[in-house]
Structure 1
Amino acid sequence: MAMNLMRAVQYSKYGGGVAGLKHVEVPVPSPKKDEALIKVEAASINPIDWKIQNGIARPFLPRKFPHIPGTDVAGEIVQVGAGVNNFKAGDKVVAVLGNGGALAEFAVAHKDSTVLRPPEVSSADAAALPIAGLAAHQSLTKLAGLKLDGSGPPVNVLITAASGGVGTYAVQLAKLANVHVTATCGARNMELVRSLGADEPTFPGLPLRLTFTPKGKVVDTTPGFGTLMSVAAKKITFAKKQLLPLFTAVKQENLDYLVKLMQAGKLKSVIDSTHPLSKAEEAWAKSIDGHATGKILVEP
């Protein structure tokens, strides 16, 4: 393989699922102004990746076909574009890719969505973090109003799907806020969720013994109409409570904060499985299946 080519996985149209993914050799991208070229050491798959393939964001995403999916990467900078003065070749980083590109040997990231990765944080743990960690952080701090330094009032928080990619981070971050965490998960993950800090792991669908104050928070890590309907069917009364839909905005300072929590041993990634790039279809299928515990990784 020529030095200016790289292995990648891409799809060329909406739909197709796993069968739509193709292994290709494509030119290594060049960093434009304010961008850095990263040699990918690990990438993670988020549900939004295959939902974009299914057309959830059409016609805006993907911006063009063929498209290399994935937004979360950890790796080493090999080249920087003009205007990048906060990073240099050789730096270990974690980044969110605005236009996809994670399922490849190299990827370009904007300098404002890239942070340094300290040696205490592995490439795998870092790659798992960005979208899921940011979603958990922002749902708890911006929507639920929790103070992660523990200085806020004591409240009760219910986190749904606590063993999923977002949920595993949300439980840990909520405990930093010194609140009472009730977390829903399947039976096989009860002990895991408890080990992450949940005070009261419980099965989805069981009557919840929640002593909610009027300021109780419900953080739904799998938002959507179907989720809201299933919550209603379970007759959990959310009157006077706040049901907080999940949202994610990529902010460099928030990602840096989460990486530093990892460095300090206060936050960890839960890795469901790791797949080689040559078998990225397995990772894609596992994410679509929806039963992963934590994050699904792909490594070149």
Structure 2
Amino acid sequence: MAKLAATEIEDGIPSVMTGAQQNDYGDARNVITLHQDIPVPRELSCKQILIRVYAAAINPVDWKVLQGNLSFIKRFSFPHTPGSDVAGVVVAIGSSVKRFQVGDKVYGNLGTDGGSYAEYVREKESLFALKPSNLTMVEAAAVPLACLTSYQALFNTASPIVGPGSKIMVCGGSSATGLYGVQLAKAVGAHVTTT
């Protein structure tokens, strides 16, 4: 049996990881630094999973969080690992996790708590879904927040809710949220016009 490096545990999950950490609010160039000694969040509650990150997306909300534009809603203690959208592989699961197994490829949105700009992230299983096999990890990481935003606009806040026969106009159909808005509306039988 080969001797393990000082930073590895027997299950192959290292004890420390590399990640981007925010040390204050401001311009990303001034407040983000790369650290190689961040402890891997190995301790899981019964409903949490540990993901080895393969891809993370950058959304407008991420740079707004960095700049402190949302600090009236959510304040962080620094250092803080930002990033909300993520795709990766499950490497550990909590005792009550039923939806995933170690080795599953998943994607999800971590919300404003962030954490995706690191090699590993720990979160509730409910924030993740199995990655579709026809998407790469990079493509999957780009889906969650933009698609969720469109879904909420069409099916939670629109009045009346978009459905068969609805006629909608999607401004900016080639934008991230626009492209999902067009597809979701078409999927439920709506007539869609876009710019």
Instruction: Give the TM-score of the pair, scaled to structure 1.
Output: 0.55
CA distance in 2, matches of 1:39, 1:96: 14
Match of 1:81 in 2: 94
Match of 1:174 in 2: 185
SS at match of 1:174: helix
Q: Does 1:95 align with 2:111?
A: no
Match of 2:16 in 1: 5
| 2:83 maps to which of 70, 89, 114 | 70
CA distance in 2, matches of 1:71, 1:31: 20
Aligned pairs for 1:260-275 (under 5 A) are none
Match of 1:16 in 2: 27
CA distance in 1, matches of 2:42, 2:170: 41
Q: Pick which of 174-183 and 39-48 moved more.
A: 174-183
Contact 2:93–2:101 (Cα < 8 Å) also in 1:
yes
Number of positions where the alignment pairs a residue of Structure 1 with one of Structure 2: 179
| 2:53 maps to which of 31, 40, 50 | 40
Structure having the larger proportion of residues in helix: 1
SS at match of 2:51: strand
CA distance in 1, matches of 2:95, 2:74: 26
Residue by residue over 1:18-44, the C-alpha shift from the partner in whole angstroms, topping out at 9 and shown as x without a partner, is 332111111111242121110111111
Contact 2:51–2:91 (Cα < 8 Å) also in 1:
yes
Match of 1:227 in 2: none
The letter for the 2-side match of 1:116 is L
SS at match of 2:24: coil
Match of 1:57 in 2: 70
CA distance in 2, matches of 1:93, 1:174: 25
Q: Does 1:165 align with 2:176?
A: yes
Distance 1:28 1:62, change over 3 A: farther
The letter for the 1-side match of 2:50 is L
Distance 1:60 1:8, change over 3 A: same
CA distance in 2, matches of 1:81, 1:69: 23
Report deviation, 1:59.
4.6
Aligned pairs for 1:21-32 (under 5 A) are 21-25=32-36, 26-32=38-44
Contact 1:96–1:130 (Cα < 8 Å) also in 2:
yes
Report deviation, 1:122.
2.2
Aligned pairs for 1:1-300 (under 5 A) are 2=7, 3-25=14-36, 26-33=38-45, 34-98=47-111, 99-144=113-158, 145-147=161-163, 152=164, 154-184=165-195
Question: Where does structure 1 differ by over 4 angstroms across 4 or more consecutive aligned residues?
Answer: none
Residue by residue over 1:128-152, the C-alpha shift from the partner in whole angstroms, topping out at 9 and shown as x without a partner, is 11111111112111222112xxxx2
The letter for the 2-side match of 1:29 is P
CA distance in 1, matches of 2:194, 2:172: 7
The letter for the 2-side match of 1:176 is A
Contact 1:31–1:79 (Cα < 8 Å) also in 2:
no
CA distance in 2, matches of 1:62, 1:31: 24
CA distance in 2, matches of 1:126, 1:96: 11
The letter for the 2-side match of 1:70 is G
The letter for the 2-side match of 1:27 is P
SS at match of 1:173: helix
Match of 1:191 in 2: none
Structure 1 regions of 5+ residues with no counterpart? Answer: 185-300
CA distance in 2, matches of 1:164, 1:31: 38
Q: CA RMSD in A?
A: 1.9
Percent pairwise identity: 36
CA distance in 1, matches of 2:107, 2:100: 12
Distance 1:62 1:75, change over 3 A: farther
